[in-house]
Amino acid sequence: MTEKRSGTVALVGRPNGGKSTLLNRLVAEKVAIVSDKPQTTRHRLMGILTEERGQMVLVDTPGVHKPKHRLNRQMVKAAVQALTEVDVVCLLVDAPLPFGGGDRYMLSLLENVSVPRVLALNKVDLLKKLRLLPIIERYHETGLFEEIVPISALNGDGVEDLASLLWDRLPEGAPAYSAELATLQPERFLVAERIREKVLLNTRDELPFSTAVLIEGWNEAGENNRLHIEACLLVEKENQRRILIGRGGRMIKALGIEARRDIEDFLDRPLFLHLHVRCVPGWREKETILSELDRAAWTVS
């Protein structure tokens, strides 16, 4: 009888490389929000895949980038720290992008990793095969990776091959978590993230990066027995607050409708969602707010 495997895999890489898309595909649930904006993931997220082979805990990390704020420094620290706390490291590379300084930095971080390292060249569906081969050769020459796998996290190409390679490198052992769990993140955090996703999808420029969501109210026995959720959208500037509210309240209403539909589908229950916007200048540098956001990602209320 084959022993079951159980362990952790860190998904690491530069911003917008497809880590969250891969996590959601492997777990077959929406654990992480996804957008085309860099730095969408701000916390380490845990996705749990349990099957006959055992249990794989996937750690989705913020994209490694040059930080400009305390928030970003915390994000990069979380990603780098994950390299020392897992059984396998999987580097995701946005294959169509030119190789640059950020890629060299990622490779330098992996030089000190003692666990197995696997490279997933993502978005290969956007590349011709002739362009892909030199990319594979460049990374092969580093000698850092046990395997290099071309994939498309979006359409699933190569993902099962990648998963098999990750399973093979996990240690033998019993599952650490219930087979019913898909993530360790609390419900309220996942709800806040779904609200933030709507901001990411509907705004541009600096606004997506300077917005955070705090759940301020959660009433299970609200009017008409609906779940009532109160959420605050934090921004740094008054003009950002005006943009999120919109003329005649149109933007905040549209965001609320989109978010409510998503959250109702996620929680499988009707709810009332009230959003409001608060301007807190420089919140990305304020330790009290960042600590509150970090606690929300892990604390079950």
Residue 22 DSSP one-character state: H
φ, ψ dihedrals at 251, nearest 5°: -65, -50
Domain range list for the chain? 5-168, 187-296
Task: Look up the CATH number of domain 5-168.
Answer: 3.40.50.300
Mean pLDDT, range 33-41, rounded to an integer: 91
- Considering Cα of 190, then 195, then 200, then 205, what sign does the dihedral take? negative
Confidence of residue 86 (pLDDT cuts 50, 70, 90): very high
Q: CA–CA separation, 94 vs 111, rounded Å?
A: 20
Please give the C-alpha separations between residue 300 and each of 34, 45, 295, in angstroms, as whole numbers. 23, 14, 9
Q: How many CB atoms lie within 10 A of CB 267?
A: 15
Question: Each residue of 217-237: pLDDT tens digit?
Answer: 999 976 777 899 999 999 999
HSE at residue 52, side-chain half, CA atoms within 13 A, is 3
- In this predicted structure, which of 12-26, 103-117, 132-146, 221-235 has the lowest mean pLDDT? 221-235
Task: Tell me how far apart the terminal alpha carbons of the chain are, to the nearest angstrom.
Answer: 41
154, 123 in Cβ contact below 8 A? yes
Q: CA–CA separation, 145 vs 106, rounded Å?
A: 13
Above pLDDT 70, what percent of the chain? 98
5-168 and 187-296: identical CATH topology? no
What's the confidence (pLDDT) of residue 301?
A: 53
Closest CA to 23 of 34, 32, 14: 32
110, 144 in Cβ contact below 8 A? yes
Question: Each residue of 256-266: pLDDT tens digit?
Answer: 999 999 999 99
What is the b/e burial string over 205-229, where b = at least 16 CB atoms within 10 angstroms of the residue's CB?
Answer: eebbbbbbbbbeebeeeeeeebbbb
From start to end of the chain, where are the E strands? 5-13, 45-51, 54-60, 88-94, 117-122, 147-150, 212-219, 227-235, 271-279
Above pLDDT 90, what percent of the chain? 91
Domain 187-296: state its class: alpha beta
Residue type, 87: D
Residues 6+ apart with CB under 8 A from 1: none
Confidence of residue 128 (pLDDT cuts 50, 70, 90): confident
Burial of 132 (0-12, 13-18, 19+ CB in 10 A): middle
Per-residue pLDDT at 129 exceeds 90: no
Per the model's pLDDT, the better-predicted residue between 38 and 253 turns out to be 253
- Token pair belonging to 89: 């490291």
Q: CA–CA separation, 29 vs 184, rounded Å?
A: 13
Angle at 32 between CA 251 and CA 116, to 5 degrees: 150
Per the model's pLDDT, the better-predicted residue between 189 and 66 turns out to be 189
Confidence of residue 287 (pLDDT cuts 50, 70, 90): very high
Q: What is the pTM of this model?
A: 0.94
pLDDT averaged over every residue in the chain = 94
Judged by DSSP in three states, 25 sits in helix
